[in-house]
Chain A
Amino acid sequence: MNRLLLVLIPLLLTLPIGISHSQTQDATTRQSGVVRLRARVKLSDSAPLRGLARKRFFLIPGSLEQNRALVEAIERQPLVTRDCYYSKHGASPALIAWLKEADCESVYCRDVEQDYVAGPKAVPEFATAFAASEKEFGNAATARKWLTTNVPANLRDGFYRDRKSVIDALLKQAPAGAVQSVMTDRNGTAFFTDLAPGTYVITNLIPTELGQSLATWNCELQIKNDDLAAEKPYLISNRKDRLVKCVAIEKPAPPCQ
């Protein structure tokens, strides 16, 4: 049963619950390809293989050769790590540690608990923002919940915006309106759906920080009509293995200057 499920899942993914019979007839003529992406990485040789959670991947129509200019641009781009970005923008060590604790890229990814506003664990940026918010909103509860409205923009989500502008610039070199992007879940799984048959490049566009290195994936894959090649996950990793279809190019993280 489980084996059969593996074969059927990609097909079934194109059929939402409750789809009518007449709609399923149309499924054969529409874009119905599916890629079940599974990203698993090792942070070091001794570390266990684990799902790469919450990373955005892009599926770009065309072969590597057809997207050569884009792939070269991806490989040429300057790399700035998260810690380096925040250091360069004057973040306190406490803020950098707070972000690192939950692997956050912005201050929006977790609640700012009272411990980080005042007391020995306080993050200076949060303490300052809280004081301003309390003055503005008149009560401590709103001040803490709305604290990020008084954090300077660069320290709030500047790292995300910087990366977004790099992605937007890179995507200008891709076929307009034809790029899909999805984010992996906590197990490193994500689905690209409604794909037309053809050749695609799967890429993360901007390098992923894996411990002390940066990993970039740029691989070609094929989607065919009624393609059962998708019956198994499309496995990508930073380690070679017979099941891995796309291996990352890893580079040491550059020194922060």
Chain B
Amino acid sequence: MKLGFYILVLIWLQPGAVDYTKFSHSTPKHKSACITCHKIPTKDWTKASAFPDIVDYPDHNACVSCHRPQFFRGARPPICSVCHVKTSPRDEARLAFRNPASKLQFTIEFPHDRHQDVIALRHANPWRSRLLAHAAPQQNFNNCTICHAPAAAVSTPPAGGWLDAYAPPAATFKAAPSDHSSCFSCHWKSQEPVATNCNGCHKLATPYVAAAIPARISLKFMHDGGGEKKQHVAECTTCHINITKSATSRGLKPDVPITACTECHNKDGLRQDLNTELAALDKNRAFTCVYCHTSNVGKLDAPASHFLIAQRPQFKRR
């Protein structure tokens, strides 16, 4: 038993046992200043980006200084596959940067509160107010739209397809910011954290796979929706009531109270969407709430908040 353990340790300690096809920023020797390897902007960035950005892997120098033996190991050195499509000295083609098939190694640090303080626009453009008083207000209050924008394309379906075959339209989700363009336009060279200070925003984390679409309890809600009249025009912070106190994006929750919905969707003389579904559920405990939810949520017990706002006694399905 003991012998087996020592053999395993020896195998593990063998240099060849290291998997050089995987690059980890957590490796102690990979924790130097980011610009040791990543040049900002990347050479020839204009070929791949509309703005100065990091659009490619570091040059060979970044690796060779320590990994020379791995570079010249055999005809197909495994280490090449970190960046290159083919592990062959005759093929220079590189994988997309960053490689979508690899796990994310960093989370983003973003203080909403500071950004809202510094970009706060205290009143809407007075000329717009006067000229377009009849028009629906835009969702750009608090200047959230400086960074956030609706998705332009429909999301890729998750593995196994969309639940209930409900494919959320493109405008369901906010897709921006998705790259450095929203950040570098201010944080390029003098506003800390600047572009070369990657660690100012990117914090090393346990590798993870990013969710294909954001988790949503009410998947059928659309930010730019509200029917043909597009009546979801409330100010972002009217519904997301805790955003302005958020000092980080970690653990950030939508924090949307049900009253944000029922002010219109359960109002006498206007709409009774919540009441209608709770009444149907009262009659048939197997009823699935579908107005806001897909069935994964709609078949659960309705939460207390829903009964409270609809002035109905709370009950469970069983």
Q: B185 to A145, Cβ gap below 8 A?
A: yes
Residues of chain A lying within 8 A (CB to CB) of residue B91: none
Q: A13 to B259, Cβ gap below 8 A?
A: yes
Pick the contact of B143: A101, A109, A148 (CB < 8 A). Answer: A109
Residues of chain B lying within 8 A (CB to CB) of residue A103: 121-123
Residues of chain B lying within 8 A (CB to CB) of residue A182: 242, 244-245
Given contacts A17-B257, A17-B258, A17-B261, contact A109 B190 (CB under 8 A): no
Residues of chain A lying within 8 A (CB to CB) of residue B143: 109-110
Q: B118 to A53, Cβ gap below 8 A?
A: no
B101 to chain A, nearest CB (A): 30
Interface string of A138-172 (1 = CB under 8 A from B): 10011001101100010011001000100000000
Q: A16 to B253, Cβ gap below 8 A?
A: yes
Pick the contact of B113: A9, A18, A181 (CB < 8 A). Answer: A181
Q: A186 to B309, Cβ gap below 8 A?
A: no
Q: A21 to B303, Cβ gap below 8 A?
A: yes
Residues of chain B lying within 8 A (CB to CB) of residue A142: 50-52
Bound together, the chains give a CA A138 to CA B52 distance in angstroms of 10
Q: A146 to B188, Cβ gap below 8 A?
A: yes
Bound together, the chains give a CA A56 to CA B119 distance in angstroms of 13
Interface string of A1-19 (1 = CB under 8 A from B): 1001100110111111111
| Interface residue range, chain A | 35 or more
The chain A residue sitting closest to B305, CB to CB, is A15
Residues of chain A lying within 8 A (CB to CB) of residue B205: none
B241 to chain A, nearest CB (A): 4
B169 to chain A, nearest CB (A): 20
Q: B190 to A53, Cβ gap below 8 A?
A: no
Q: B253 to A8, Cβ gap below 8 A?
A: no
Given contacts A54-B122, A137-B51, A148-B185, contact A185 B238 (CB under 8 A): yes
Pick the contact of B121: A15, A21, A54 (CB < 8 A). Answer: A54
Q: Interface SS of chain A: helix, strand, loop or mixed?
A: mixed
The chain A residue sitting closest to B256, CB to CB, is A17
Pick the contact of B254: A1, A16, A190 (CB < 8 A). Answer: A16
Q: Which has the most chain B C-beta neighbours within 10 Å: A108, A160, A164, A189?
A: A108
Given contacts A12-B305, A12-B309, A15-B258, contact A109 B120 (CB under 8 A): yes
Bound together, the chains give a CA A17 to CA B46 distance in angstroms of 45
- In this assembly, does B186 line the interface, its C-beta being within 8 Å of a C-beta of chain A? yes
- In this assembly, does B301 line the interface, its C-beta being within 8 Å of a C-beta of chain A? yes
Bound together, the chains give a CA A89 to CA B117 distance in angstroms of 21
Pick the contact of A186: B123, B253, B255, B301 (CB < 8 A). Answer: B123
The chain B residue sitting closest to A101, CB to CB, is B126
- In this assembly, does B159 line the interface, its C-beta being within 8 Å of a C-beta of chain A? no
Pick the contact of B303: A9, A19, A192 (CB < 8 A). Answer: A19
Q: A157 to B191, Cβ gap below 8 A?
A: yes
- Contacts beyond the supplied A102-B121, A138-B46: 8 A-B pairs with Cβ under 8 Å: A15-B305, A20-B301, A20-B303, A24-B303, A54-B121, A104-B121, A149-B188, A183-B237
10 contacts between A and B (CB under 8 A): A5-B259, A13-B259, A16-B255, A53-B122, A146-B185, A164-B114, A183-B120, A185-B141, A190-B244, A191-B241
User: Which residues of B come within 8 Å of A, CB atoms?
Assistant: 46, 50-52, 113-114, 116-126, 141-143, 146, 184-186, 188-191, 217-218, 235, 237-238, 241-242, 244-245, 253-259, 261, 263, 267-268, 293, 297, 300-301, 303-305, 308-309, 311, 316
